[in-house]
Amino acid sequence: MSIAGNGRTDSISLPQRLIHRWGIEVRPGYVIPTNPFLKGDNEQLEPIRHSLSTHFKTSFQFHPDSPVGKIYRGAYQGIGFACYSFGDTKEIGDPKAIYLFQGATLADVTPHLSINYEWNFGLSSGWHPHNYETNPYNGMVGSKVNAYMNVNFYFKQILSHQFDLIYGVTFTHFSNGNTKYPNAGLNAADLKAGITYNIHRHAPSLSQGIRDRASLTRDFPRHVSYDVVLFGSWRRKGLIFNDEPMASPDHYTVWGFNINPMYNLGYQLRVGASLDGVYDSSANIYTEDYITAMGESDPGYTFYQPAVRKQMALGISARGEYVMPYFDVGVGIGANIVHGGGDLKGCYQILSLKIKATRHSFIHIGYNLQNFDTPNYLMLGLGLRLNNQSPRY
C-alpha cells in the first residue's frame, strides 16, 4: 500500500493492518427540559429528567504503523446498537438505535492515557409518537422513527494490549428533521463508561509515529477541490395564525444544490465557501379566515402556496470540513442573497456528513437550521468531488 506522490510504502501485511474492536458502554443521562412535555405536562404530571442507554459496538482501527494510522491518530470507525429508556415507556417508548460512529485521539496525557472524541449518527425506532386519542400529551415526538445524533469526548486508559477502559461525557439529540409533526426533539447530556476489547493490537512506538506523521503531513499538496451536491427531502410545516400555532396537514418537498470550492489545508481540514440554491415548497405558505353558515360543518383551514418565486432562494455560506477516512463532517453558516422574502429571510446553518463512495463521489446527509434555532429541512443527496488531489493511502 502506498501514498501517491511521496514514494512511501506501508510494510504492514494485510492481516495485521487492521485492529478489530468490540465494546460495550453504559450511558446514564440527564434529559434537557426543552419542551412542556418533558417539563411535566404529561400523563404522569412529573418532569422527565433521566435516561439510561446501553451500547454494543464493533469497529476497526488502522494499525498505528500504517500511513493512515500515522496521519489520523487512533482513527476508528464502526457500527453500534443502543437500547434507551427514559422512564416513561407508555408515552415515549423504549427506543432502539443503530448508528455509524467514528472517533480518534485528540491528545495524549500519558503513554497509557489519552483524550479522544467520537461522533454517532443513525436511526432510532420504537418511539411512541403523539396521537390525539391514545397519546395526547406527547407533543415532543411525531414519528416512530427518528434520527439519532451524538458527540462525545472521553478518556481512554490502556489496561493491556487487549483491553481499554473508557469514560467521559456525551451529548445526544433525537429528531425527525421536520418530516413529521410534532418535532420538538429530545436532547440529553450523558456520562459514559465502558470497556473495549482489541484484537491484533501491539504496543506502538509513540515517538516514531509522531515523527513519521509530521513527515507525511508536510508532503500533502495543498489545493482547491470542488464539491457539487444535489439534494432533496420532504418536510412538514407549521405557522402562527391569529396568534395560534397551526400545523399544515400536507407534506412538502424540498430540492436544492450546493457548489462549494474548498481549500484543502491538509489531510484533515478543508475550508471554503458554497453557493446554495433551494426550492422549498413549504416556504411562505399561508391560510385565511373563513365564515361558515349556521348548521354547516367546519371544513377546517386550507393552506395555500404562494408563487414559485416566493419559494426559491440563492444563498452564500462559509464552510469548514473535518476530513477523516470514509467520512467528512462539515459545518456552514450563510444567508440568502436572492429570495422570495418571508420564511427565506435571515441566516441559515448547515451540518453535514459526507460518506465517501469513491474517490470522486459521496453520499450527502445534511440538516438545515434557520437563525440557529428553527429546524428547517433535511438534505439527502449525492455529491461529486472535482480536482481531488489528496494523496491515495
- Please give the full DSSP string across 77-146, using - where no structure is assigned: EEEEEEEEE-S-TTTTEEEEEEEEEEEEEEEEEETTEEEEEEEEEEEEEEE---BTTTBTT--SB--SEE
Q: pLDDT, tens digit, for every residue of 174-220?
A: 998 888 888 888 999 999 999 999 998 876 544 445 556 667 777 88
**Whole-number average pLDDT of the chain:** 88
Output b/e per residue, 26-48; b: 16+ Cβ within 10 A. Answer: ebebebeeebebbeeebeeeeeb
Residue 182 has a pLDDT of 83
Q: What is the pTM of this model?
A: 0.86
Distance of CA 100 to the CA centre of its chain: 10
Q: Which helix (H) or strand (E) holds 54?
A: strand 50-62
Q: Which residue has the cell 509513540?
A: 206
The proportion of the chain whose per-residue pLDDT surpasses 90, expressed as a percent, equals: 67
Rounded to whole angstroms, how far apart are CA atoms 280 and 254? 5
Confidence of residue 2 (pLDDT cuts 50, 70, 90): very low
268 contacts 72 by C-beta, under 8 angstroms: yes
In the chain, count of helices (H) and strands (E)?
3, 22
Residue 393 has pLDDT above 90, yes or no: no
Residue 289 has a pLDDT of 65
The proportion of the chain whose per-residue pLDDT surpasses 70, expressed as a percent, equals: 87
Which range is least confidently modeled, 1-10, 270-279, 365-374?
Answer: 1-10
Question: How large is the average pLDDT for residues 347-360?
Answer: 95
- Please give the full DSSP string across 12-51, using - where no structure is assigned: --GGGSEEEEEEEEEEEEEEE--SHHHHT-STT-S---EE
Q: pLDDT, tens digit, for every residue of 44-67?
A: 899 999 999 999 999 999 888 888
Residue 22 has pLDDT above 90, yes or no: yes
Confidence of residue 260 (pLDDT cuts 50, 70, 90): very high
Question: How large is the average pLDDT for residues 223-232?
Answer: 97
Angle among Cα 350, 366, 334 to the nearest 5 degrees reads: 20
Range picked from 63-72, 76-85, 340-349 for highest mean pLDDT:
76-85
Comparing CA positions, the residue from 327, 223, 204, 325 lying closest to residue 271 is 223
Residue 69 has a pLDDT of 83
Q: pLDDT, tens digit, for every residue of 382-391?
A: 999 999 998 8
Q: Which residue has the cell 469513491?
A: 358
155 contacts 167 by C-beta, under 8 angstroms: yes
Domains of the chain: 2-211 (2.40.160.20), 222-386 (2.40.160.20)
Residue 37 has pLDDT above 80, yes or no: yes
- Please give the full DSSP string across 251-287, using - where no structure is assigned: -EEEEEEEEEEEEE-SSSEEEEEEEEEEEETTTT-EE
Comparing CA positions, the residue from 297, 290, 329, 295 lying closest to residue 117 is 329
Q: pLDDT, tens digit, for every residue of 122-177?
A: 999 999 999 989 999 998 988 999 999 999 999 999 999 899 999 999 999 999 88
20 contacts 198 by C-beta, under 8 angstroms: yes
Residue 364 has pLDDT above 70, yes or no: yes
Q: 101 CB contacts (<8 Å, ≥6 apart)? A: 57, 59, 77, 78, 79, 80, 118, 119, 120, 121
